[in-house]
């Protein structure tokens, strides 16, 4: 049996870098910030560096507090609703900003990002296929 999937965007990521890196733009009110993040299908939520929330003008600790378990321990992060744009696909979601200013990862996780897109991957060719979940493409 053969299946066909359609995607709106094709991204050739750099295979020599650790993980699958994609460009991200976050928007809150009239402020925006751009940076690279890693696709992390094992992360329950999107978690970003504190500095990016601060650059958006957010009071980090005013968000909903959540404790996350990680391979290297645990971390506290605070949830805020923002607009996420990745490879031309825009969605509004609650994402988390780390309490610890030394947390230096940016993760696109399942809730808030992966649950809102159609995602295809051919790692051998370093190709990521992406569409909005409801995109008929």
Q: How far apart are CA 8 and CA 86, in angstroms?
A: 12
What secondary structure letter does DSSP report for 44? Answer: S
- Shortest CA distance to 26 belongs to which of 17, 18, 35? 35
Residue 97, both tokens = 């900003």
pLDDT digits (tens, 9 = 90+) for 47-77: 999 999 999 999 999 999 999 987 777 899 9
At residue 7, φ and ψ (nearest 5 deg) are -130, 150
Which CATH topology does 9-132 take?
Cathepsin D, subunit A; domain 1 (2.40.70)
- Spatial separation of the C-alpha atoms in residues 114 and 106, rounded to whole Å: 14
Domain residue spans of the chain: 9-132
Average model confidence (pLDDT) across the chain: 94
Instruction: Report helix, strand or coil for 39.
Output: strand
pLDDT in tens, 125-135: 999 999 999 98
User: What pLDDT was estimated at residue 137?
Assistant: 62
- Residue 77 is predicted with a pLDDT of 97
85 has a pLDDT exceeding 90: yes
Once rounded to an integer, what is the mean pLDDT over residues 18-44? 95
pLDDT reported for residue 135:
87
């Amino acid at each position: 049996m053969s299946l066909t999937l359609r995607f709106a965007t094709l991204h050739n990521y750099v295979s020599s870098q650790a993980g699958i890196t994609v460009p991200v733009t976050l928007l809150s009110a009239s402020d925006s910030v751009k940076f690279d993040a890693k696709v992390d299908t094992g992360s329950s939520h999107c978690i970003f560096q504190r500095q990016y929330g601060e650059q958006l003008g957010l009071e980090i600790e005013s968000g909903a507090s959540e404790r996350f378990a990680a391979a290297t321990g645990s971390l506290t992060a605070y949830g805020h609703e923002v607009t996420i744009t990745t490879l031309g696909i825009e969605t509004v979601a609650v994402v988390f900003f780390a309490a610890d200013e030394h947390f230096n990862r940016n993760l696109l996780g399942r809730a808030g990002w992966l649950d809102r897109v159609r995602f295809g991957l051919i790692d051998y060719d370093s190709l990521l296929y992406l569409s909005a979940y409801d995109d008929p493409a």
